[in-house]
Structure 1
Amino acid sequence: MKATELREKSVDELQSELTENYKEQFKLRMQQSADQMSRPSEMKRVRREIARIKTILSEKKVAGK
């Protein structure tokens, strides 16, 4: 998801997206440890998505003060 799309979401929606991405990252890590990972690039995508969401959450926190 693009950063512009994420900026339009509320803090609660972003928190739920973050939780979903953490769960997906965990699943991918388990697949990687069991050598069952079909697309290693997914790890990179999820990691970057988490970073995007965290960045936007911190921007909203600073803007809210």
Structure 2
Amino acid sequence: MTKAQDFRAMTVDQLDDELVKLKKEQFNLRFQKATGQLDNTARVRSVRRDIARIRTVASAKRADAQAKA
């Protein structure tokens, strides 16, 4: 699990890349769960929360950039 502070240090483009990576991992974890191959069930929760953290930080950065413009 990554902290929101780590995400705040990233640029919006880096956050978008990280979001894509986590969405792929989430898909793979769901697929593993459906086929009964998932070992670490807690990882599903942590990935979901990291996705939420990234979306929150990215939207705040975008809103800040629009306010400055």
State the TM bucket, normalised to the shorter chain. over 0.9
Aligned to 1:55: 56
Q: Which runs of 4+ in 1 moved over 4 A?
A: none
- TM-score (norm: length of structure 2): 0.91
Q: Are 2:8 and 1:7 aligned?
A: yes
C-alpha deviation, 1:61, in angstroms:
1.0
CA RMSD, Structure 1 to Structure 2 (Å): 0.5
Q: Are 2:21 and 1:17 aligned?
A: no
C-alpha deviation, 1:63, in angstroms:
0.5
Question: Which is greater in Rg?
Answer: 2
Residue ranges of structure 2 left out of the alignment (5+ in a row): none
% identical equivalent positions: 40
C-alpha deviation, 1:30, in angstroms:
0.3
Residue ranges of structure 1 left out of the alignment (5+ in a row): none
Q: Distance in 2 between matches of 1:39 and 1:7?
A: 27
- TM-score (norm: length of structure 1): 0.97
Q: Distance in 1 between matches of 2:12 and 2:64?
A: 12
